[in-house]
Structure 1
Amino acid sequence: MNNLTIDRRRFLSASAALALTAYGANGMNMLHPTAQTYRVGLIGTGWYGKSDLFRLIQVAPVEVVALCDVDKNMLEAAGKLVSQRQKSGKVPKLYGDYRKMLDENKMDIVLIGTPDHWHALQTIDALKSGAHVYVQKPISVDVMEGEAMVAAARKYNKVVQVGTQRKSTPHLIDAKKKIVETGLLGKVAHVEMCCYFHMRANGNPETQAVPAFLDYEMWTGPAPLRPYDGLPHIRWWRTFNEYGNGIMGDMCVHMLDTVRWMLGLGWPKKISSTGGVYVQKEGKSNIADTQTAVFEYDNLNCVWTHRSWGTPANADYPWSLTIYGDKGTLYASTMQYDFVPVDKKVEKIHKDVVYEKEKYPEDQTEERIELNAAPATRLHMLDFLSAIEKKSRPVADIEEGHISTASCILANISMKVGRPLVYDPQKREVVGDKEATALLKRPYRAPWKHPEPARV
């Protein structure tokens, strides 16, 4: 890497820090540039784990000291890519067991980009090791995991930022500030959220031998051990409830979290859901292809709908949220927002997603990058670093991530038991429902032990 590249990196880091100040008034932390170089590790070197890491490298002085993955091929390829992206040019140490990585390296920050069923154990172990954590959403596969993660963050006094980067998405910050907070919507009394992407993998691959480069036992970890039927990377693992919470846990968590942030909402008062596999019955997938959930607040219902078949209700907003007020409606997605007033004399407002292709030209050659999400993730990383430096809570603090994640998990439990649920976060139980309460904690496969959500 030449001096020109290094100088450009420094300039971009400073520019990104300055860019963040524009959003400070919206509740995000404002970064005070530091000379400190953060020692960073990544657990899970797949598509999004690398994407998060590369965004961090773009905006902060970091040294990636270690990478961990159970797929040796993916791990080695990630090591080479990181050496090309980071300032030192060094290939990080490579590990197949995250526990060994944490034991042998003192890291300031650990990024977690593994499948959902690993988030809780890896987050808690990283916190115990002394690191701050950036963990992908949803934070957990069951509600008690999330409670344990929040407790661990508070116990070890570390910053945990959740990858719900919609809170750091420029045009959505603008919508919150200019539409919601100014009162243009009037009285808000209904919200609709949806996802109509055909994203449910649903094949019938045959059982096969586990390849030598993959530690499938470690990949599975605390989850049930399914017969191996091909690499689970990318989308295949998401199609099974053994490892996550379906489209509800994957996509609703983003939109519900954004709505909660925009409207200042906490735990729902009641959650109900119906759905199942109604159309796509031909494959192995056991996640719902059709589902509706209602998250009830005082004088406000937030309604989620997903279908992984058919056409979207609104082609311009296939994965989105709609906030209805008596003075107007806000349509918002990762790509744009539109404000439509009731009063025809009031102007409509439209804003598109911000891209930074010219500022960060390396984005355009990065494999599978979500160009629309990259600017948001960069701001999210800056907010994370600012919270570390200021010893404050980040915009997507672990507790907020837990509320959004747990609400989606509770919706799935409601769908399973066939009735509405009221969760008490103080008692950590579903009020008056022993069957549903028992489902707040999934059994772990031996020898892994479920983390206990002990009081701090």
Structure 2
Amino acid sequence: MASFNLNRRKFIQGAGAVLTLSTLQVKGLSFKDAIRNFRVGLIGAGWYGKSDLFRLIQVRDVDVVAICDVDNNHLQEAGKLVSERQVSKKNPKLYKDYREMLANHKFDLILIGTPDHWHARQAIDAMERGAHVYLQKPISVDVLEGEAILRAARTYNRKVQVGTQRRSTDHLIDAKKRIIDKGLLGRISHVEMCCYYHMRKNGSPPIMQVPDFLDYEMWTGPAPFRPYDGLPHGGWWRTFMAYGNGITGDMCMHMFDTVRWLLQLKWPKKISATGGIYVQKEGKSTIADTQTALFEYEDLHCVWQHRTWGAPADPEYPWAFIIYGEKGTLKGSVMKYEFTPIGKGEHIQREVVYERDKFPNDLVEERIELHTAPATRRHMLDLLSAIENNHLPVADIEEGYISTASCILANLSMKLNRPLVYDPQKKICIDDIEATELLRRPYRIPWRHPY
């Protein structure tokens, strides 16, 4: 894996920052690599799609050839902002149908920032057209979609970086090196993960006419068709299991992936979960407001809990992981980590690294998450190195598949009210025909499931 130290880099500042010669000392990049004109496309130009693309533009002079979105307002705004930010000042071509965009251009890299129910189909179609992919998490809505993406990546020899940028977060990399890898925790047998954000949208808006600027049929795509009751891609969609996997698929996926990376874990031996809609029963939302999941390994339990109501167990760590070892405890979040030894020893703490001075445009970008911007830039650089030097990215699609599928299986366990044992070779839940049938969701006609 290429090692990057963003604190040592010198960048040309501005809307479209270009790597300077000093940056070329970074392991894995050469001058020839750095001046290569990457042809880039974006599918899904809403909030996070644009944010990911802007982070890429900040670390490489790419050619953003085309942008696709079913919302013409998002599309026009993204086209304008990208033409201002990329060094060439070129206006990207704008599309409402990603298939037309892929057919009309040759891409080196496609960024996908659409809702979860589109991830698998679009990622595979992009790879079939020869592009590498930056894919937002979770990678899929059902388990076998994830298998299909992994298979496509290996078949077409494409690099896929999943947007689990905790693996590229400076203070968490430091925690891995200083605490985990040096054995300061001793033997580890219990991990807790949590999210207590009040992030579950739960309104009851009336059915209304689809606005002229939105192609709602295309937005829905392979998912079940719901009567239109508001701007679905403004975050309202996340409250429905038809389009994603609730808080567990969204937030647990991040923290569980982080823990697996820190502790070098692969597939859990058994997964179980309980929960449901216990408190926020009003409204249309179909995702659980309360859930506890257990991911079991040999001599190790990883426990997830979320509540979208009430107070967090620890206000300092409302979305976090806690790794318990016989010699100490490691708490971590997107904002910081702290190691507390048992008995004598050094208490170690480190805060998130910001890059406001290096990238002043971060301060004026609408809805930017300043604390994650440095990690996303590092994530982009790692993907570029993987493409140019033929190594797996730090958040390779296989890792995204394991983390995503494990969270989907937790939801299935909650639904079926029993533990599940998944066999990733046979693609079945062992001794559970009903659960196995749920590994693949039906697609709405005429869309075809990729597995």
TM-score of the two chains, using structure 1 as the length reference? 0.94
Identify the residue that residue 349 of structure 1 maps to in structure 2. Answer: 348
Per-residue CA distance 1:197-252 (angstroms, 9 max, x = gap): 00000000000000011000000000000110010123200000000000000000
Aligned 1:41-56 pairs, distance under 5 A:
41-56=41-56
Say whether the 8 Å CA contact 1:138–1:401 is kept in structure 2.
Answer: yes
Identify the residue that residue 175 of structure 2 maps to in structure 1. Answer: 175
Change (3 A) 1:7 1:56: closer
What runs of 5+ residues in structure 2 fail to find an aligned partner? 1-11
Per-residue deviation at 1:15? 6.2
Aligned 1:266-305 pairs, distance under 5 A:
266-305=266-305
Aligned 1:50-449 pairs, distance under 5 A:
50-343=50-343, 345-449=344-448
- CA distance in 2: counterparts of 1:7 and 1:222, whole angstroms: 36
Change (3 A) 1:205 1:7: closer
Say whether the 8 Å CA contact 2:138–2:249 is kept in structure 1.
Answer: yes
Say whether the 8 Å CA contact 1:31–1:383 is kept in structure 2.
Answer: no
Identify the residue that residue 9 of structure 2 maps to in structure 1. Answer: none
Letter of the aligned partner of 1:324 in structure 2?
Y
Say whether the 8 Å CA contact 2:135–2:161 is kept in structure 1.
Answer: yes
Per-residue CA distance 1:352-375 (angstroms, 9 max, x = gap): 000000100000000000000000
Identify the residue that residue 10 of structure 1 maps to in structure 2. Answer: 18
Per-residue deviation at 1:90? 1.4
- CA distance in 1: counterparts of 2:243 and 2:235, whole angstroms: 11
Letter of the aligned partner of 1:268 in structure 2?
P
- CA distance in 2: counterparts of 1:165 and 1:305, whole angstroms: 21
Per-residue CA distance 1:311-362 (angstroms, 9 max, x = gap): 000000000000000000000000000000001x211001000000010000
**Which SS does the other structure have where 2:234 is aligned?**
coil
**Which SS does the other structure have where 2:232 is aligned?**
coil
Say whether the 8 Å CA contact 2:144–2:440 is kept in structure 1.
Answer: yes
Per-residue CA distance 1:139-166 (angstroms, 9 max, x = gap): 0000000000000000101100000000
Aligned length: 438
Change (3 A) 1:7 1:259: closer
- CA distance in 1: counterparts of 2:242 and 2:60, whole angstroms: 36
Per-residue deviation at 1:114? 0.1
TM-score of the two chains, using structure 2 as the length reference? 0.95
Identify the residue that residue 26 of structure 1 maps to in structure 2. Answer: none
**Displaced runs of 4 or more, over 3 A:** 4-8, 13-18, 30-33
- CA distance in 2: counterparts of 1:36 and 1:147, whole angstroms: 32
Change (3 A) 1:390 1:227: same
Per-residue deviation at 1:32? 3.7
Aligned 1:25-36 pairs, distance under 5 A:
30-33=28-31, 34=33, 35-36=35-36
Say whether the 8 Å CA contact 2:15–2:58 is kept in structure 1.
Answer: no
What runs of 5+ residues in structure 1 fail to find an aligned partner? 22-29
- CA distance in 1: counterparts of 2:117 and 2:439, whole angstroms: 14
Identity of aligned residues (%): 67
Letter of the aligned partner of 1:374 in structure 2?
A
Per-residue deviation at 1:7? 11
- CA distance in 2: counterparts of 1:347 and 1:91, whole angstroms: 54
**Which SS does the other structure have where 1:233 is aligned?**
helix
- CA distance in 2: counterparts of 1:332 and 1:159, whole angstroms: 28
